[in-house]
Every structure is written in C-alpha cells, then in structure tokens.
Structure 1
Amino acid sequence: MTSEYMNTYDASLDDEFGEKSVSVLLDGEESELIFIDHPSTEMSVENCLSTYEPHACLVVYSVVARGSFIRAGELLSYLVREQFTADRTVVLVGNKADLARARQVTTNEGKALATTKESKFIETSSGIQHNVDELLVGILKQIRLKENREKKQAKKVGKQEPKPSKLASSRTHISLSIARELLQKICINDISKSKSCENLHVL
C-alpha cells in the first residue's frame, strides 16, 4: 500500500483492528481509502460486509495458488448473490504476477471470472510494486463513478415524465422513435465492447 507514483502514500497502519489507510489524489481531489483486512478466521465475509458496509470489495488471489483462485470465485459468487456488485465496486486482483514460472492461474482465467461475476480485474505484484498505484487509483475512480451514477438516477426518478404531444401518435414520430432506439442499441453495443473489465476508469 505504499507507493512512489500517482501521489499516493502510506498514511497510517493499525494492525490491532486490521485497518490500513492510504491517501490517493485523483483529479485534483484527495481522498483517504480505508482498507479493512480481517482474516476469515476472525470475521466472515458476511459479518465484515454487514459490520462495515464498505464502498468496495477487493477479492485477492495468488496467481501461483489455484486454490486461492477457486476461493476468490466463491467469494465473488456470494457478492453477486447478495447484489453487492449492483451498486458497489468489486475488483478481482491476481497478485504475485511477477512469479511467471510458478504461475498456476492465467491472466485470461482471471479476466473471464471477473467478467462473469460483474467485477473489474487487475493483476498486481506487491513485491515489485507492479500495478499497485493503478489499483489504488482505480478503486477510487470506480467508487466515484458509481456514486455519480446513483446521483444521476436519483435525479431522473425525481423528474416527472412529460405529457405526450400530438406528434407522439403520428406515424412519422413512431418511425423516428424506432430508428432512435435501434441507433442507441447499436451505439450501446459498440460502447460495451470498449469497456473492458481491466479498465478501472469506466463502469
């Protein structure tokens, strides 16, 4: 969690409560990320989520230990079932990416799991500080994007639907509406192709 890049730095360390914090500067605004790291022997994932109500979850596995990858899949399935992924950030993290010769889990397997479990994906190496900064900034970006989306949705709910005009029932208007819907579907499909599970800067 220490870093030399992207204006991040280790702010505090509290081993007693399993909480660590780091300050991250993103788009000119500084935020403090607090990581809650309880071993599953001390506190279950269910209890951790209900106790802390986190904005995001990082599910970390080791690319050199397939067992940890299987466990990560189980945790992601739980988060999907509990609908945590619907409005919260979940990032699947494959750590120890520098240990290429001992690798048991491929990058493509990690991506595939993340995609099927509505999560983002990144591989890191805490040992050589590979992608650690990108992960920290990406978590914050995802949290902000989801919060902004929720605010926009809340505004939409507050607005009343306008009354249909006389034009709305005409054939021309109906044809235009169908054309617009088709165009939107095409555009949405193109956009979704560009939104990779590895891009932590888009939803």
Structure 2
Amino acid sequence: MSLDDSIVTHDPDAFIVVYSVTEPSSVQYADQILQTLWKMSAVANKAVILVGSKSDLVRSRMITAEAGRKLANTYDCKFIEVSGGLDHRVDELLVGVLSQIRLKRSCRLSRSRSLGRRSCRLHRGARHTSSVKGLLHVMCGAEPRSKSCENLQIL
C-alpha cells in the first residue's frame, strides 16, 4: 500500500518518521516521506515528528544531530534523537507524540470554532497567560514560537 493510500485509509493523528543515524540512505528515505507529507498538507494538520534512531552508536554515526534538526526545520516538524537499545529519550518521544496530537487537535478545533479572524496561533498563546509576556502575546496576536524543533511540548 502506498503512503498516500495508507494516509487516506487510516487517517492517522500523527506521523513518526524514523531514520538511522548510522545509515545515510535512511535519511534520504525519511526526506522523501516528509516531502510527500508536506505536499499532502499533512504537516499542517497532523503531528509530525522526525526521529533519529540509534543515537547510542557514536562510533558508527554518519548523520549528525544538526543534520536531523535541519531536515526537521525544512519541513516544519519536530525532531528528537533516541536510542531504543539504551532506552534513551524513548519516554520523552512517547509523551511528546501525545502532546503534539493534543496540540494539533486543539488547534484544529480552535480554527473550526473561530469566526475567521482568530487563528490557532492566538489560541496557542492563550496557555501562556499566567505570565505578563504571554498575556502581551495574546493581546497583540503574536505567537510564542518554539525556540527549536526539539521541544515536543509546544507547536
């Protein structure tokens, strides 16, 4: 089954695109998948996380973490490196997947309930109202953006 058919058939809430940091061809394949998701506009509506696997294999590493971040930034998705063998950051990934799904869903609900002028960006900033800076972001309509693609807790 092709990627397009799988997406239409199963309508997933998230896409986790995994590549091996020891295998350059897996990054090329991940790039192709992300490109397909981008063309289908799935990145805007669904949670997408690029995962660099086997981060514990330092001597065999051929793909840097910076290259992974750059690829994730290119497609406006989140990024994390994990090691299944050492159970390093796997829990963070799983919690992050759920957080991204919830954030994307609330964003879609906010947009569907809005009157056209208000966007999801305004609603995303609403959770920061406990601080003066967050309140100013909400009042001005500015979106507090993630400083990097690695923070899985915010859009």
TM-score by length of 2: 0.81
Question: What stretches of structure 1 of length at least 5 have no aligned partner?
Answer: 1-42, 160-179
Which residue of 131, 150, 153 corresponds with 1:198?
150
> Which amino acid is 1:133 matched to?
D
> Which amino acid is 2:65 matched to?
T
Cα deviation, residue 118, structure 1 = 1.5
> Is 1:137–2:95 an aligned residue pair?
yes
> Which amino acid is 1:197 matched to?
C
- Say which one has the larger Rg: 1
Using the alignment, how far apart are the partners of 1:151 and 1:90 within structure 2? 18
Q: 1:35-80, CA deviations, whole angstroms, 9 ceiling, x for partnerless residues?
A: xxxxxxxx32122112111000110000000000111001101100
Question: What stretches of structure 2 of length at least 5 have no aligned partner?
Answer: 118-135
More relative contact order in 1 or in 2 (CA 8 Å, sep 6+)? Answer: 2
Q: 1:91-144, CA deviations, whole angstroms, 9 ceiling, x for partnerless residues?
A: 000000000010010000000000110110000011111111001110000000
Using the alignment, how far apart are the partners of 1:150 and 1:47 within structure 2? 23
Q: 1:7-34, CA deviations, whole angstroms, 9 ceiling, x for partnerless residues?
A: xxxxxxxxxxxxxxxxxxxxxxxxxxxx
Structure with the higher strand share, 1 or 2:
1
State how 1:163-182 maps to structure 2 within 5 Å.
none
Cα deviation, residue 158, structure 1 = 7.8
Using the alignment, how far apart are the partners of 1:110 and 1:158 within structure 2? 36
Q: How many residues align?
A: 135
State how 1:22-101 maps to structure 2 within 5 Å.
43-101=1-59
> Which amino acid is 2:150 matched to?
E
Using the alignment, how far apart are the partners of 1:149 and 1:196 within structure 2? 19
Contact 1:195-1:202 at 8 Å conserved across structures:
no
Instruction: State the 4+ residue runs in structure 1 displaced beyond 6 angstroms.
Output: none
TM-score by length of 1: 0.62
Cα deviation, residue 152, structure 1 = 1.4
